[in-house]
Amino acid sequence: MPSSFPERVAATGPKFAFHDSPAEIPDTLNILLDYPRGLTVQLISSMANDTAVKHVIRGHKATLEFTREGFEIVPQRQFAKEVRPVTHKKTGDLHHRNLLNAIRRNEPLRCDAQLGYYGVVATAMGNLSYRQRKYLRWDASKQRPVAA
């Protein structure tokens, strides 16, 4: 997963179903985030449809799909001999339990503040791109998004 800020971000989305809604966000939102090492993350949201969007990471050799039970890694056909399929079931060691243990017992966080900062910046850039209707890039020297 990305361990940096996105280089560029573009977002689009209208109100397809709820035209008269006072909501500040569209009922359908698509955000593309391009990262330095050639990774593109696509965030898709739709409140106008009750079919869940699968949470997947599509790699060149395999696809990682997050499920309610855990996750699965499914190799692409041409890499089936090189990459083995994996199914992982959750063990009950949940993210919120780690946070509570960090607060109560001073245990280390698995998701530190810097990783949280990367995620908040990425989603904030997506929302800003949507609201300004602009393609944005991350200015590392200013630590803020600017027009691309």
Q: What is the mean pLDDT of the chain?
A: 90
Question: Which strands form 28-34's sheet, in the order they lie side by side?
Answer: 40-46, 28-34, 8-12, 136-139, 144-147
pLDDT per residue as tens digits for the range 48-63: 888 888 899 998 999 9
Question: What does the domain layout of the chain look like in residue ranges?
Answer: 8-147
Q: State the fold for domain 8-147.
A: Dihydrodipicolinate Reductase; domain 2 (3.30.360)
**Strand 55-58 with 62-66, pairing:** antiparallel
**Is residue 129 within 8 Å of residue 9, measured between CB atoms?**
yes
Angstrom distance (rounded) from CA 14 to CA 66: 27
Angstrom distance (rounded) from CA 3 to CA 9: 16
Closest CA to 134 of 148, 116, 120, 114: 148
Whether residue 93 has pLDDT greater than 70: no
DSSP SS3 for 90? coil
Residue 3 confidence (pLDDT): 78
Residue 1 confidence (pLDDT): 52
pLDDT per residue as tens digits for the range 21-74: 898 888 899 999 999 988 899 999 888 888 888 899 998 999 999 998 899 999
> Which tokens in the block code for residue 98?
């780690």
* pTM of the shown model: 0.79
Query: Which residues have CB under 8 Å from 139's CB, separation 6+?
Result: 145, 146
Whether residue 146 has pLDDT greater than 60: yes
